[in-house]
Structure 1
Amino acid sequence: MRRITATGLALSFAALVLPVQSGLAQPSLPENPVHFTQEQAERGRQAYMQGCVVCHGDRLDNGEFGFPLIGSAFENRWAGVSAATFSNMLRETMPPGGAGTLSNQTYTDLMAFIFQQNEVPAGNEELPANPEQLASLYVTAGGVNSQQAALRVGGPGGGFASDVNLPPWPEPRNPLNSIENITQDILNNPPDGSWLTWRRDYEALAYSPLDEINRRNVDELKLAWSLTLPAGPNESTPLVHDGVMFVQSFNDNIMALNALTGDELWHYRRNLPEGVNGRVQRNIAVYEDKIYASTSDGHVIALDMRTGRLVWEADLGSDTSGGPLVAQGVVMQGTMRSGGGPDATFIQGLDAETGEQMWRFYVIPQPGEPGSNTWNNVPYEELNGGSVWTAGSYDPVNNLALFGTAQTYDTGPLMNAVDIPGVNNDALYTNTTLAFDPQSGELVWYFQHFNNDQHDFDWAFERMVTEIEIGGEQRRVVITGGKLGYYDILDAATGEYLSSYDMGLQNLILGVDPETDRKIVNYALYPDGLEDKQVCPHAGGGRSWIPGAYNPETGRMFAPAVETCMTMILVGEGERGSLSSGYRWTIRPRENSDGRYGHIQAFNVGDNMTEHWTARQRPPQSSGVLATAGGIVFAGALDRSFSAYDDRTGERLWNTRLNDVPNSGPISFSIEGKQYIGVVVGYGGAQSVSFPRLVPEITLPAVPSSTVWVFELP
C-alpha cells in the first residue's frame, strides 16, 4: 500500500483550495448542480479518513498542515466551476508522487464527501465516475462562513485564534462585475481601448488607434505586471474588454485576468481524454456573453464570459490550431490534419448560442463538386491537404467571412499533369482565399493564390481588409501574403485580382500573368527527380503565420519575416522525404548572407507598392507585429527580445528581454485612459523551432515557460 506523507497531502490540497482574492464576485448558482447519494458520500468519507484526515483534520478544517476544505475558502474557489475541473485538479495532485493512481470511483467518492460537508444535499443519483460526464455538472456550496471566519480555521501556521479580527482590508475591484456583453455592433466598431479579436478587429489589421505611447516616450516603457501561465508553448493572443483580459495557454487552459493587475478572476482547465496530448491553439474569440475556443481534442467550446463555466462544446472530428471566428451569431472554425484524408480539412459554422452545426465546407471538393477535377485524376480517397490553421477575418461591409487554406500534403501525384481533357493539377481549394456568407456557408467567391504547390509554401495566413486607392479609385480590398513573402491584393466584394507585392525573399515566382492572374513560376526549381534544388525561402517561410500589421492612416504594411533558403535534396529509392515527390528540405542561409536573419519590412500599399524601410537583425523574428497611432511598431524575436521601432524609419527605439520567446501577436489596450502593451511568450511553436540552428549562440529555454507581459509608461 502506498504511504502518503502528511506534508505531501497538504501541498496537494493547497493547490485546490487557495481562495481567490477577497472582493471578487461570487459565481452565480449553477444551472446543473452536482448530485450524489448518501451512500457515495459515505464511501468518500471512508477514503478521506484513510488518506486525507492526517493533514486536513476530521472536520476538514482543523488539520495541522492542510488548508480548509469547507466554508468560504472552498466556495470562493470552486462554486460555479465545472465538476470536471475539480476532478481534474484532484487527479493531478493526489496522491503526491502518484497523482492519478486512485480509481475514478475513489476520486469521485471523495468529491461527494467534500460536497456533502459543504452542505450540498445528497440525492438519489450518484456523481458519475467518468470524468467526461462531470463536464456538464457544476459545483455549488452552502452555509459558508464569513471571510474572517475562513481566516481563523486551520492550515499552515495554524490560522487565527477565535479572538483575532483583522483590520478592514481593501477589496480589489473586479471588472467582471461591470463587463458589458460584446455585441455585433461593438465587434464591427471596437472601442479604441479594446482588443476584441486576435488582430484587434474583424479586419485583422493589428492597428491600435491609441497614441499615449509614442515615438517621444516609448523608451520610458516599464513593466506594469506579468503573470506565469500554465507551462508549455504558447502562440495565443490575449483579448481585452472592459478591463478584463482573456488569455489562453497550453493544454487548453483559458483564464480571465484583471487587465490592470494580472490577478486571476477565473480559470478553465480542460480535461483531455486519455491519449490526447495538448497542442498549441493560436487564438480565442468573444461574442455577446461568451468566450469561444478550439481545443486539443478537436472540439469547439463556449464558456460563460463572467464565470468561465462551460456552456456548450461541439465535437469537430478533426484537429485545430487556429481558433474560431465569430460573426453574425455563427462560430466559424477551420480544421487541419496532415494525412487525414479528403474530409479532414473543412470550415464549420456553429450556432453561437447552442453549438449546433449550421454548415460545413470541405476544402477538398467532393466527387462531382466544382473543383473536383483539379486533382490530377487522383482517387478522391487518396487526397489530403488544404488545412485551415489560421483564424478567419470578417468583412462587415460585405458580410463575408474570409479564410485562407494551406497546400496539399501529398505533392508527388500532382507533380506532372495528366493528359485528360477537363482535368488539371491546380488542387483546389489549396492556397486559396475563401469568402463565405457566415450564416449560410455559401461560397461567394474564391481566389487561388498559388496552384499545385510543390514546396510547402502555405498561403493560409491572416486576411486583412481595408480601403485603399488603387488604379485611380478607392477600393475595399483583401490583402494577404503566403510563406513566399508575396502579397496579393483582391477586391473584397468579388475576389477580383488587383495587384501584388514581392518582399524580395523568394526566387520561385517570376511575376503574374496579366491574362489569367496566375503566378508565373520558375519551373527549373520544381521537383523533377533529377537533381537537388536551391529554393528561397525555406519551407518554414520567409513569412509564416506570425502576422503583420497595417496602418490605415499611412497606407503602410509592416511584415515580419526570416531571411532563409533551403536545399531540396533528392532522397534514395523507396524513401519519401519531406515531400512525396522524392525530396527532403534542409535549411540554409541566403547566398552571401551577412548572418542577419530577422527582417521587418515596411511597404506602401496601393498604386505605389514600394518598400519603405527594412529593419534587419541577427535573431529571426518570432512574433507578430503591432502598429499604433503613436508611430510605433512592436515585434519580438528568437533571442527573447521585444522591441519598439519608429514606423517612419525602422529605427529601434526601445528593447527589453523577456523570460521566454515571444511567439504570439503583441496587443495594445487602455484602462481608464492609460495605454498598455501586452505580449505572451512560450517557446515551442512552429516559428520558434524552425530557425534556431541558424543562430547557435542563442540559448533557448530548456522548458517553455509561458508568461503574459504587460508594459506601461511611468
Structure 2
Amino acid sequence: MAVSFKGRRLPLLLSVAGCAALGAAALAQSDAPEPVRKQVAQAADIYAAQCASCHGDNLDGGQFAQSLSDEAFKAKWAGKNAQALFEYIRSAMPPGNARSLPDDAYAALTQLILSRNGITAQDALAPNSPVMIRTQFPLASEGQPDVGGIGGLSKRYPNPPWPKAPDRFASYTPVTEAMLQTPAPENWLSWRRSHQGLGFSPLTQIDKRSVKNLTVAWSQALPAGPNMAEPLVRDGVLYVFGYGDEVFAFDAADGHLLWRYTRDLPKDTALTSKKTLALYGDKLFAATSDLHMVALDARTGKLVWDSEIIDDPEFRNPGGPLVADGVVMQGLTTQKTGGSIIVGLDAETGKRLWTFNTIPSPGTPEGDTWNGLPQDKRHGGSVWTSGTYDAETGLALWGVAQTYDTGPLRDRKPGMNNDGLYTNSTLAFEPRTGKLAWYFQHMKNDQYDLDWVFDRVIGTLDVNGNPTRVVMTGGKEGLFDALELATGKYVKTVDMGLQDFIESIDPVTGDKHVKPEKIPGADKGAVAVCPHAGGGRNWSPTAFVQETGLLYVSARDVCMDMVPSKTGFLTTGVNIEYMPPPDGDGNYGLLQAIDMQAGKVRWEVRQRAPYNMGVLATAGDVLFTGSMDRKVKAYDQATGDLLWQSGVAGVPNASPITYAVDGKQYVAIVTGAGNPLAFGLPQVTPELALPPVNSSSVVVFALPED
C-alpha cells in the first residue's frame, strides 16, 4: 500500500512514520471533520519528507529552524488567517526552493500547522477559499511567551536595539507625467529611465576617474531562469521582475526585501521574461505570462486590479508596459495568422480602452500592401519591446517587427503592393484613444528577419538649420533612422557599416533599395548577407546623450548564409546559417558611438565576446554594458577606452541602470541567460558556453566608502 503525492508513490512506511511523529497533531484533530483529518494525514507525509529535518519531527523546532507550535510562533501569527500562513510558506519554503510543491501540498501543511496549534478548521483548506480566509490564529495573550525548547530570547541581558531600517515608503507620492518626462536625478522611473527612452542618467559621482574603484555593494538572487528585466528605482526602492512572474521590491541601498508579489499562473502557462515594469501614480504595472496586465500597489505589492489582455495561448508578451496620459499600453507577439495587437487599458481601473491591430485589413490603404493576401493569411507584426512617449506632442511611439512568412511577399504581383504594413514600422498613437497619428515603415517587404521593433529614442537634432524634435531607431541591419517626431517625416539614416545588401537609400523618403542578387529564395543558391538575422543590433537598447548628439549601441558583427531548404526557417524556402564576415578578425562584439547629427561613427570597440546587454550612459562620461563572457564593463564615452570590468556569476542579460540613495550612486544589472542574445554565437564562439547552472540575480555596484 502506498500514498500518492505529486506523481510519486510514497511507501506506507513513510506514511506511518510521518503520522507517528506527528501524533500530537493528529490527536488535536480527533474531533475535527473528516476532510480536515484526511488533509492532516496527507500533510504528515509531506512534512516528514520536506520540513522535519529543520523544524523537528513534531513541529517543536530543530537545530536549523524555529518551532511551529510554541507561544512565540503563536504570538507572531496572532490575528492572522490561514491564507496569510499559506502564502508565506508557499513563497518561502522549502528554503532555496520555494513554490516547488503543488498548492494542495502547501494547503495541507497549513492545515497541519493549524492543528498542531490547537486550531480546528471547519473543512479542508484550499487557496483563497472562504474557510482559508475565515480560519485564523487567536489574538495574542498578555505576558511573556513560554517558548520552551530551542529558540526564543532570554531576558537575562537586554538586547541592544536592532538597527532601524529606513521606511522607503513613508513619504511616497504618486508618480506623475512630469516625473516620467524628467525624473529626479536619483531615480530610474521607467524603461530607459524616462519616457524619452534615452538610457542616460545625469548622475556624476561615478565618473571616468572613480569608476575603476567600483565594487559590489549588494546582490540578491532572483528566481532561476531567463531574465531580461531592466529594474526601476523610485526614492530608494528598486523594483525588478523575476522569472516565473514574480515582482520584487528591494531597498535600493542594501538589497533587503521590502515586498514580493508572486503570480498564480494557470497550469502549463508558457513562461516568458519581461523587459520592463512601469510606474504611474501609486501603482506598479506588470505584464504576466498568462496574458494579463496587473496593477500592484507600489508600496505594498498588493494586487489592485487584474485585467486580461487576450485569451489566446498563441500570443506572448515579453516586452513591457508603457504608461502615459493615464493609459497602460502593452504590445504582444504572435505567429498566429492575422497579426498582433497593441492594447490600451485605463491605469486606474484596468478597463480596456482600445485595441490596435498591427496588420491592417484589406480594403484600407495600409491594408492593401500584402500582395493580395487575405487577412487570415498574413503573419507577423509582433511587438516585443516597450514604447516611449513624448509629452510635447502627446504621442506614444511603438515599434513593430517583421513577418516570417516571407514567401507570399517576395515577388510583387502585377497591380499589387507588397510592402507588408505595418511590419518594421514606427507607430505614433494618441494614448487615450488609440488613434494612429502617423506611421513610418523603415524597411518594406523584409526578406531577412531583420526587425525594427526596438527602442524609440526621443531627442533634438538640427534639421535644415532648425532644432527639431526627432525619434531615432535602428533595425537589425545596423541602420538608424531619424524622423520628425510631430509628423513622422523622414530626416536621415546613419549606417553602422555592418550591412551589405542595401544598395541605396532615398534621401527624401528613406526607402531602402535592396540589391537584387541579395534577395534569397529556394529558387536560388545560397545567398550571403550581412548582418545575421540575430543582428547587427538587436533588442538591447541604445543610450543617447543630447549634449553631444552621440548614440551608443552594442551590436554583433556576424553574417549569414541564406541556404535553400525544403523546410525553411523563412517561407521563401531558406534556412539561416552563421557566417563570419568577409575578412573578419574573429571579434564579433561591437560597441559604437554614432554621431546622429554628423551621420558618422565616431569610434568603435571590437571584442571576441558578443555584447548582449543594452547601454547605459551617464553625465560622468561613462558607458556601461555587458557581454557573453559574463563581464560587465565601463568605457570612456569620448574614446571607447575600457575603464573598468567585473565578472559576474550569470550572463548579464538586461540593460544596466544607475540611481542614487542618500547621496550615493549605484549601478545595477540583472543576470539570467535565456533571451535569444544570451545564447551567444555558439557556432562561431564555441568557447563561450552558457553557464552550466542557469541562475538569475540582481547585482549592484558602488564606490567603496571613504
TM above 0.5, yes or no, is yes
Q: CA deviation at 1:415?
A: 1.1
- Are residues 1:530 and 2:507 paired? no
- Does the CA-based 8 Å contact 2:407-2:571 persist in structure 1? yes
The answer as to whether partners of 1:85 and 1:271 remain within 8 angstroms in 2 is no
The within-5 A match list for 1:227-626 is: 227-317=220-310, 318-338=315-335, 340-343=336-339, 345-420=340-415, 423-528=416-521, 529-571=523-565, 575-606=566-597, 608-626=598-616
Distance 1:47 1:207 in 2: 55
1:204 aligns with 2:197: yes
Shift of 1:64: 7.4
How far did residue 85 of structure 1 move?
4.6
Cα shift at 1:595: 1.0
1:173 aligns to 2:170 (yes or no)? no
Q: Check whether the contact 1:81–1:308 (CA below 8 A) recurs between aligned residues.
A: no
| 1:630 counterpart = 2:634 | no
Partner of 2:29: none
State how far apart, in whole Å, the 1-side matches of 2:655 and 2:373 are: 39
Specify the code of the residue in structure 2 equivalent to 1:476: R
Normalised TM-score (structure 1): 0.86
Distance change in 2, residues 1:395/1:414 (3 Å):
same
| Cα distance, 1:148 vs structure 2 | 8.7
Whether contact under 8 Å (2:198, 2:458) holds in the other structure is: yes
Residues 1:366 and 1:261: Cα distance change in structure 2 (over 3 Å): same
Check 1:579–1:148 CA distance in 2 against 1; reply closer, same or farther (3 A cut).
farther
The answer to whether 1:675 aligns with 2:665 is yes
In 2: Cα distance, 1:664 partner to 1:334 partner: 19
Q: Map 1:153-168 to 2 at 5 A.
A: 158-160=151-153, 166-168=159-161
Q: Deviations over 1:235-284 (max 9, x none)?
A: 11111111000011211121000100011111112222211232221111
Contact between 1:372 and 1:428, CA under 8 Å: does it hold in 2? yes
Other-structure match for 2:7 = none
* Distance change in 2, residues 1:246/1:39 (3 Å): farther
C-alpha distance in 2, partners of 1:218/1:710? 14
* Cα distance in structure 2, aligned partners of 1:708 and 1:334: 26
**TM-score, with length taken from structure 2:** 0.87
Structure 1 residues 429-477: Cα deviation after superposition (integer angstroms, max 9, x where no partner): 0000000000110001100000111100000000001122222100000
Q: Aligned equivalents of 1:426 and 1:138: distance in 2?
A: 61
Give 1:167 shift.
3.4
Tell me the distance in 1 between the aligned counterparts of 2:670 and 2:167: 23
CA contact (8 A) 2:490 2:509 kept: no
What CA distance in whole angstroms lies between the structure 2 residues aligned with 1:513 and 1:667?
37
Which residue is 1:648 aligned to? 638
Residue 189 of structure 1 deviates from its aligned partner by 1.8
Query: Partners in 2 of 1:465 and 1:543 — Cα distance?
Result: 18
Q: Residue 48 of structure 1: CA displacement?
A: 4.8
| Separation in structure 2 between the aligned mates of residue 579 and residue 241 of structure 1, nearest angstrom | 44
Q: Which amino acid aligns with 1:530?
A: K
Say whether the 8 Å CA contact 2:227–2:672 is kept in structure 1: yes
* Displacement after TM superposition at 1:661 (Å): 1.2
RMSD: 3.4
Cα distance, 1:640–1:40 mapped onto 2, change above 3 Å: same
Of residues 307-316 and 546-555 in structure 1, the stretch that sits farther from structure 2 once superposed is 307-316
Letter in 1 for 2:438: W
Letter in 2 for 1:531: G
Q: Which residue of 1 aligns with 2:697?
A: 707
Conservation of the 8 A alpha-carbon contact between 1:640 and 1:657: yes
Equivalents in 2 of 1:220, 1:428: separation in Å?
A: 50
Residues 101-136 of structure 1: CA distance to partner in whole angstroms, max 9, x if unpaired?
Answer: 7xx66654554565688899978xx7874x6989x9
What does residue 25 of structure 2 align with? none
Task: Work out whether residues 234 and 682 of structure 1, in 8 Å CA contact, stay in contact via their aligned partners in 2.
Answer: yes
Secondary structure class of the residue paired with 1:414: helix
Can you list the C-alpha shifts for 1:1-21, whole angstroms capped at 9, x where unaligned? 326979x99xxxxxxxxxxxx
CA distance in 1, matches of 2:80, 2:66: 14
Q: Hey, what's the Cα distance between the residues in 2 that align with 1:146 and 1:388?
A: 59
C-alpha displacement of 1:222: 1.4
- Residue 382 of structure 2 aligns with an amino acid whose one-letter code is S
Task: Supply the AA of the counterpart residue of 1:633.
Answer: L
Separation in 2 of the partners of 1:556 and 1:644? 17
Q: Measure, in 2, the Cα distance between the counterparts of 1:467 and 1:5.
A: 71
Aligned counterparts of 2:525 and 2:386: Cα–Cα separation in 1: 38
Residue 193 of structure 1 aligns with an amino acid whose one-letter code is E
Alignment CA distance shift 1:170-1:384 (3 Å): same
Does the CA-based 8 Å contact 1:349-1:438 persist in structure 2? yes
Q: How far off is 1:226 after superposition?
A: 1.3
Shift in Å at residue 67 of structure 1? 3.5
Distance in 2, matches of 1:669 and 1:549, equals 16
Moved more, 79-88 or 621-630: 79-88
Alpha-carbon shift at residue 593 of structure 1 (Å) = 0.6
SS, match of residue 694 in structure 1? coil
Change (3 A) 1:306 1:69: farther
2:409 counterpart letter in structure 1: L
Would the alpha carbon gap of residues 168 and 41 (structure 1) be closer, same or farther in structure 2, given more than 3 Å must change?
Answer: farther
Gaps of 5+ in 1: 10-36
Distance in 1 separating the partners of 2:261 and 2:396:
28
Q: Aligned to 1:181, what secondary structure does the other structure show?
A: coil
- 2:691 is the alignment partner of 1:695: no
Decide whether the 8 Å contact of 1:324 with 1:331 is kept in 2: yes
Match of 1:33 in 2: none
Deviations 1:352-410 (A, max 9, x none): 12211110000011343442211111121121101000001111111111100000121
Mapped contact 1:564–1:590 kept (Cα < 8 A)? yes
Q: In 2, Cα distance between the equivalents of 1:121 and 1:460?
A: 57
Checking the alignment, whether the CA contact within 8 Å between 1:83 and 1:139 is kept in structure 2 is: no
Sort the Cα spacing of 1:98 and 1:227 in 2 relative to 1 into closer, same or farther, 3 A.
closer
Contact 1:118 1:144 in 2 (8 A): no
In 2, Cα distance between equivalents of 1:168 and 1:149: 20
Query: In 2 relative to 1, CA 620–72 (structure 1 residues): closer, same or farther, beyond 3 Å?
Result: farther
For the structure 1 residues 670 and 141, does the alpha-carbon distance in structure 2 shift closer, same or farther, using more than 3 Å as the test?
farther
Q: Percent of counterpart pairs with the same letter?
A: 40
What is the Cα deviation at residue 490 of structure 1?
0.4
Q: Deviations over 1:137-169 (max 9, x none)?
A: 79986635899959x566xx5555676763332
5+ residue gaps, structure 2, are: 3-9, 19-31
Question: 2: distance between equivalents of 1:505 and 1:392?
Answer: 26
CA contact (8 A) 2:650 2:671 kept: yes
Residue by residue over 1:576-603, the C-alpha shift from the partner in whole angstroms, topping out at 9 and shown as x without a partner, is 2110100000001110111111111102
Q: 1:580 to 1:218 in 2, by over 3 A?
A: same
- Cα distance in structure 1, aligned partners of 2:268 and 2:155: 49
SS at 2:371 equivalent: coil
Q: Is the 8 A contact 1:418 1:424 kept in 2?
A: yes
